[in-house]
Structure 1
Amino acid sequence: MTWRKGPYKNYSGKAQLSSILIFASMATLMSFLPISVPNLPPHPALAATTKPFSVPSSDRKMRVPYELKRGQNRLFHELPSGLSMEVIEQKGAEIDGITREPPLIFIHGSYHAAWCWGEHWLPLFSSRGFDCYALSLLGQGESDVPPGSVAGTLQTHAADVADFISRNLSVPPVLLGHSFGGLIVQCYLANAKTKQNLEAQDLFPEVAGAVLVCSVPPSGNSGLVWRYLFTKPIAAFKVTRSLAAKAFQTSVPLCKETFFSSEMEDQLVERYQVLMKESSQMSLFDLRKLNASLPVPSIPKSSVPVLVLGAEDDFIVDAKGLEEMGNFYGVSPVCIGGVAHDMMLDCSWEKGAEAIVSWLRKEHL
């Protein structure tokens, strides 16, 4: 590595502060970096069963203070392990002259749960005729907490999504994943059956398409971390404090800067801050093991329609990460102006949703 001459050589004033921030951030963020980066083959899925999902019993205590919108139902899908996964469902409206649309499966990222889609995007997409299903991954939202220190691996989370699809849907859905949920979608695509990949595992049903919303790129978050450390040390320090130290849970300004636009009302930020804090009972992954398993296996270009959607004001996923995803899937990324990382909750949430609707129509999905 070649060090730049200049402020790092003179430990005084702003230069000293920059150096301190870099090394303080590095010390914390080293745990997120990969030990190695092997290109692993698709992982075997969990065995499926034929148990249907069920409605919650009246004595089930809700952990997350989220009230469903009109037309939404909270269901629980029982996985092969016996653990239950929360599903917020909103059926599509019947629209004259429009062929039934493919179902949409929404997969959240860290510190979120199914509710983050139920707030705005489920009502909008259902009004356009799409059946919508927002899943809470294990250990998140109202889903059961598995044994162990983390909720699962990239492969087990993808297998849980596959189990829900195989046992409840009769037509291929479109997967939408946000942040680390987007990485789970990428893992699913690497395992799913396609016309070009007939040897893929039967337990990952075919999908009609995928939308990666402010997603972690195929190589993981390591590149993002290093770029922030050496180009935006103060931002790197804030991201570390916000996410790794979970300071966003107690600081409204930091929560806003991490997830939302500056125009977002503090009252809304405070509401979502509470929901995020209550949503995550445990970490989605062991990040060191996750990064060591990356990048995700590639898929034949054009085998599945993919939309790579980014946010101009994203504080977590930068333009390079967006470009990496576009190159990986052979598509041109779409970057939405005036929105931040939590595109589906931000004050201009409809911008991203309308871009997705336009893409779905263009792809005839």
Structure 2
Amino acid sequence: MATTSMAGVSVSGFHNHHFASSNSNAATISSWKPVVAVLSNKNKMRVPFELKQGQSRIFHELPSGLSMEVIVQKKKKKNVEGEEEKKSPLVFVHGSYHAAWCWAEHWLPFFSASGFDCYALSLLAQGESDVPDGSVAGTLETHARDIADFVHHKVQSPPILVGHSFGGLIIQYYISSLGSNNLEENTYPKLRGAILVCSVPPSGNSGLVWRYLFTKPIAAFKVTRSLAAKAFQTSLPLCRETFFSATMEDHIVKRYQELMKESSRLPLFDLRKLNASLPVPSAPNCPVDVLVLGAKDDFIVDAEGLNETAKFYSVPPVCVDAVAHDMMLDVSWEKGAKVILSWINGLDK
């Protein structure tokens, strides 16, 4: 089978969830036009995520007129007098079949308790965000620009972006756009740092696809069935194997499975355009500090994919043992959170 057709098949298999696409990277800001807003009262998820203590849900209106769901959890105030230590805000970006709720479960409470203002976004047509006109939610460019618009209007100081899986690839596009000479204006606000969690590598899924097909054919079939055919939505064992550790209890997997079913009303991207839009443009003299974080038991992004991303940013990868792809929801979610906290605390030292 030809390389192109294999990549097309496996893109659908690996990512309608993670390995998705965008328009050409040659597109500039001047070519972007706002999408038509399709506002609806039906945006609420039929399986609601109940906010935890200290969390609130707001909606950020984008230039297109569409509104983006944001779950906010501000840092806990110190009870001592004197100037409070200033810490960079954290902005979290999910992957496909997820939404802002996936960060609000564990990591928002953890990082707000550690002194950070936290914002978890739901990309368009995901979670309770509005749905644009068309068959897909957007492109790498439009999703990155939506994040940038939120940062520009709602975040007071340069934030650290935290992206999971395909959200990590969107953040890579954001980074590549910082200071780009192709932009007519500074659309992308400065960042303090970026954290790529089990991220799709900058070249997309092609390398992963061929490695899985030749070295892990059974795994390749399972991932294709799970994500392309959406079998994770009906098979509890397959959902667990795709996203979580084997020790996660059935009732917890079931809860996340139901939330994931409801999280995506449109695919994030037109998958057929993936190969034409990647790799992400290189970022010589990368203007931000980057942490590349992987999971040892990741069923989707393998060690070579993790290493590719780390090499792209000239940083050593960090791989967390006994954690699966959905690091922020998994049984040992605190392992990755502690690695991130340590890395952030070391930025200013």
Same fold (TM over 0.5): yes
Q: Give TM-score, length-normalised by structure 2.
A: 0.88
Shift in alpha-carbon separation, 1:110–1:295, aligned structure 2, 3 A: same
Residue equivalent to 1:248: 232
Residue equivalent to 2:167: 181
C-alpha separation in 2, matches of 1:344 and 1:121 = 6
Q: Which has the larger radius of gyration?
A: 1
Residue equivalent to 1:356: 340
Q: Tell me if structure 2 keeps the 8 A contact 1:85–1:138.
A: yes
Residue equivalent to 2:269: 285
Q: Tell me if structure 2 keeps the 8 A contact 1:32–1:222.
A: no
2:130 to 144, 151, 169: 144
Shift in alpha-carbon separation, 1:107–1:26, aligned structure 2, 3 A: closer
Q: Tell me if structure 2 keeps the 8 A contact 1:32–1:291.
A: no
C-alpha separation in 1, matches of 2:331 and 2:12 = 33
C-alpha separation in 1, matches of 2:217 and 2:290 = 33
C-alpha separation in 1, matches of 2:284 and 2:224 = 35
Percent identical across equivalent pairs? Answer: 65
Which amino acid letter does the alignment assign opposite residue 86 of structure 1? E
C-alpha separation in 1, matches of 2:234 and 2:323 = 23
Indicate whether 1:215 and 2:199 are aligned.
yes
Which amino acid letter does the alignment assign opposite residue 74 of structure 1? R
C-alpha separation in 1, matches of 2:158 and 2:24 = 27
Q: Tell me if structure 1 keeps the 8 A contact 2:60–2:150.
A: yes
| Residue 31 of structure 1: how far off its partner (Å) | 5.6
Trace 1:2-151 onto structure 2 (pairs within 5 A).
Answer: 28-29=9-10, 40-41=25-26, 43-44=28-29, 61-95=44-78, 96=80, 99-151=85-137
Q: Deviations for 1:172-192, whole angstroms, at most 9, x for unmatched residues?
A: 000000000000000000112
Q: Deviations for 1:307-337, whole angstroms, at most 9, x for unmatched residues?
A: 0000000000000000000100000000000
Shift in alpha-carbon separation, 1:128–1:223, aligned structure 2, 3 A: same
Q: Give TM-score, length-normalised by structure 1.
A: 0.84
1:340 to 312, 324, 327: 324
Say how many residue pairs are matched: 330
Q: Deviations for 1:221-269, whole angstroms, at most 9, x for unmatched residues?
A: 1211111011100000000000011000000000000000001111100
Shift in alpha-carbon separation, 1:30–1:121, aligned structure 2, 3 A: closer
Q: Tell me if structure 2 keeps the 8 A contact 1:172–1:208.
A: yes
| Residue 70 of structure 1: how far off its partner (Å) | 0.4
Q: Tell me if structure 2 keeps the 8 A contact 1:38–1:295.
A: no
Residue equivalent to 1:270: 254
| Residue 150 of structure 1: how far off its partner (Å) | 0.6
Structure 1 stretches of 4+ with a deviation exceeding 3 A read: 24-28, 30-34, 36-43, 45-48, 58-64, 95-98, 197-201
Q: Tell me if structure 1 keeps the 8 A contact 2:69–2:100.
A: yes
**What stretches of structure 2 of length at least 5 have no aligned partner?**
35-40
C-alpha separation in 2, matches of 1:280 and 1:307 = 27
Shift in alpha-carbon separation, 1:198–1:120, aligned structure 2, 3 A: same
C-alpha separation in 2, matches of 1:327 and 1:38 = 25
Shift in alpha-carbon separation, 1:271–1:305, aligned structure 2, 3 A: same
C-alpha separation in 2, matches of 1:125 and 1:273 = 25
C-alpha separation in 2, matches of 1:269 and 1:334 = 26
1:172 to 158, 171, 180: 158
C-alpha separation in 1, matches of 2:67 and 2:215 = 43
Shift in alpha-carbon separation, 1:43–1:353, aligned structure 2, 3 A: farther
Which amino acid letter does the alignment assign opposite residue 72 of structure 1? Q
Q: Cα RMSD over matched residues?
A: 2.8
C-alpha separation in 2, matches of 1:141 and 1:344 = 17
Trace 1:322-333 onto structure 2 (pairs within 5 A).
Answer: 322-333=306-317
**What stretches of structure 1 of length at least 5 have no aligned partner?**
2-23, 49-57
Q: Tell me if structure 2 keeps the 8 A contact 1:37–1:295.
A: no
Which amino acid letter does the alignment assign opposite residue 159 of structure 2? P
Shift in alpha-carbon separation, 1:103–1:30, aligned structure 2, 3 A: closer
| Residue 127 of structure 1: how far off its partner (Å) | 0.3
C-alpha separation in 1, matches of 2:155 and 2:260 = 29
Which amino acid letter does the alignment assign opposite residue 112 of structure 1? H
C-alpha separation in 1, matches of 2:251 and 2:8 = 34
Residue equivalent to 1:161: 147
Q: Tell me if structure 2 keeps the 8 A contact 1:64–1:142.
A: no
C-alpha separation in 2, matches of 1:38 and 1:147 = 16
C-alpha separation in 1, matches of 2:226 and 2:11 = 16
C-alpha separation in 2, matches of 1:271 and 1:37 = 31
